[in-house]
Amino acid sequence: MSNREYAIQLLNNIPDGKLVYIIDILKGLNGLSDNLIEEAEPDEWDLKMIAEAEAENDGTTITLEELAKDLELNV
């Protein structure tokens, strides 16, 4: 099943009274392009931040559970 066919199937299950919301969403999406964020070359500040991050990164990782425990969060 294609994405279009799946979307139509989902639309067929939406009550008529709620279709107005879907229509507004589709109108908004119709005018959007795939390239919403313009690519730009990093400037001096960006390069400095990248260098600092690379210097601080020792390659170790922790699990989400470990991070939550370190931050004293109950997950």
Could you list the mean pLDDT of each consecutive 10-residue stretch along the chain, which spans 75 residues?
91 91 84 68 95 91 92 87
For position 34, what pLDDT does the model report?
59
Give the H or E element holding residue 52: helix 44-56
- Identify which of 19, 59, 21 has the alpha carbon closest to the alpha carbon of residue 8: 19
Q: Which two tokens stand for residue 19?
A: 């279709």
Cβ-count burial of 6 within 10 angstroms (0-12 exposed, 13-18 middle, 19+ buried)? exposed
Q: pTM for the whole thing?
A: 0.38
